[in-house]
Structure 1
Amino acid sequence: LLPPLKGNSIRQVFAVIDRLKEFDPKYINITTHHSESMYKEDAEGVYRKISVRKRPGSVAIAAAIQNKYGIKAIPHIISQGFSKEETEYALIDLSFLGVTDLLLLRGDTKNLDALQRNLDSHPHASGLQEQVNDFNRGVSFDGSSLTPPEIPFSYGMACYPEKHEESPNMESELFYTKMKVQNGADYLVTQMFFDNRKYFEFVDRCRA
């Protein structure tokens, strides 16, 4: 589910779910988006580069869906465009709200501006996974202690049957895919693929 654009009502989200309820969805994924850079003309007619976030985050929407419909909500947590501290506060908020299932992703890197690239964030989803695992154990991103959540987070991660564009080969892809599972991922969600044979080959090699 895509959060509504800033300025719109959550009633738009509820209207979509109302139409889907008859199909008895077991869960609903909510995407997350970092801010983007754009140029805006000021009062003097000069265009200046600013950072704009077009959509709200997934925390409040996930809680609203789960509380209103009783359907498991799975917010996306992305590492790019968000600092480790921001991620920790999102985890705290989600834990307080009773949202305990996540999808951990690196997120899009193409639209990051220089400031976002310099954030104290995780360059890969593996670092985000480590932070969530630490949070479940009561360890903050800075190494200090915090109270572990009453219900530890469970989470899924991404996999790539046709290889991630940055992977040198399928052997490397399989290695990192298996590492995600070994380090605690409960399930994997494929990115879009176009050859079913490669998907089944990928599954067989993961299980080997």
Structure 2
Amino acid sequence: MKVIDLIKEHQKTAFSFEILPPLKGTGIERLYQTIDTLREFDPKYINITTHRSEYVYKDLGGGLFQRSRLRRRPGTVAVAAAIQNKYNITVVPHILCSGFTREETEYVLLDLQFLGITDLLVLRGDKARHESMFTPEVDGYAHAIELQQQINDFNRGVFVDGSPIKVTGTPFHYGVACYPEKHEEAPNMESDIYWLKKKVEAGAEYAVTQLFYDNRKYFDFVERVRREGIDIPIIPGIKPFAKLSQLNMIPKTFKVDLPEPLASEAVRCKTDEEAAALGVEWCVAQCRELIAAGVPSIHFYTVSAVNSIREVAKQIF
């Protein structure tokens, strides 16, 4: 069943979460442990992130370095297939502009369709570490809406070179990202919402937010996009505050604010255990307010937060 149908047909607020493929060479068992930990809360779907390759430099001695490309977390397609096969849960691999050419994207679509995986989250993706600003691959895309168009063409039976697909399979359906506190590269919120509307017009069936800790910013964002005629589900993306270091890391990395009441309590924490307990308490209150407001689903980001998410889910699902 499509993600949009799973969301709409679930009478209560649905539960879902996002995972990362394992680091190259580390195996999939720990990822299965994450799923097993959260499986009791009936996840409607599981997102699997995709990661671009990066340049790495090997010291050859004598002042010489060899530059090569390394993908630290390969295997998104295989991980998605493994999860779907093992757990019979809908999987949603991320598909990116960042680090991929149009042809590489086409091969990913073909592989996913062969596997019967036809739900996607379509993203531009982050810039590479060595870049000062996002730069698309040669013969790649600069914007998610361009990637959407390739997927739409594929659904219509047209390859990226314009040639016909002789046998078409089940069409892809997809969601996109949105930002209650504005994407860091957007000049203003109006511009950000304009492009979200364009992505909806191009076929996005729902949008998942960047993580946030202030529900008022989510509610205000939803109100604004509704005024612009955007009527797709806006799914809140949530991650419990879990470590003392996140007091400074979260605003820097994700470009979101920590509300003053949360920040004030966090600075009083002496250990990560105290910080995690505070994060669970805040997240439970946050989720209860979102559920009371009738959000269709809550989507959890699991990195370094699996146990906290389980504690939150025990109280709200």
Q: Same fold (TM over 0.5)?
A: yes
- Shift in Å, 1:13: 1.9
Equivalent of 2:196 in 168, 173, 177: 177
1:18-75: CA deviation from partner (whole Å, max 9, x where unpaired): 2222121111110110111121122666322221111113111001100111001100
Instruction: Letter of the 1:190 partner, please give it.
Output: T
Q: 2:108 is matched with which residue?
A: 90
Native 8 Å contact 2:24 2:73 kept in 1: yes
1:112-165: CA deviation from partner (whole Å, max 9, x where unpaired): 66xx84421110111111111111111111211114643111100011111112
Q: 1:159 is matched with which residue?
A: 178
Structure with the greater alpha carbon radius of gyration: 2
Instruction: Letter of the 2:156 partner, please give it.
Output: R
In the TM superposition, 1:19-30 aligns within 5 A as 19-30=37-48
| Cα separation, partners in 2 of 1:28 and 1:97, compared to 1, 3 Å | same
How much is the aligned-residue C-alpha RMSD, in angstroms?
1.9
Q: 1:15 is matched with which residue?
A: 33
In the TM superposition, 1:29-40 aligns within 5 A as 29-40=47-58
TM-score (norm 1): 0.92
Gaps of 5+ in 2: 1-18, 228-317
Q: Does 1:131 align with 2:150?
A: yes
Q: 2:160 is matched with which residue?
A: 141
Q: 2:92 is matched with which residue?
A: 74
Q: 1:198 is matched with which residue?
A: 217
Gaps of 5+ in 1: none
TM-score (norm 2): 0.61
Divergent runs of 4+, >3 A: none
| Cα separation, partners in 2 of 1:75 and 1:118, compared to 1, 3 Å | closer
Q: Percent identity?
A: 58
User: Which one has more relative contact order, counting CA pairs under 8 Å at least 6 apart?
Assistant: 2
| Cα separation, partners in 2 of 1:95 and 1:174, compared to 1, 3 Å | same
Distance 1:85 1:183 in 2: 21
Native 8 Å contact 2:58 2:67 kept in 1: yes
1:63-106: CA deviation from partner (whole Å, max 9, x where unpaired): 11001110011000011100000000000000000111000001
| Cα separation, partners in 2 of 1:69 and 1:149, compared to 1, 3 Å | farther
Q: Greater CA deviation, 92-101 or 45-54?
A: 45-54
Instruction: Letter of the 1:201 partner, please give it.
Output: D
Q: 2:67 is matched with which residue?
A: 49
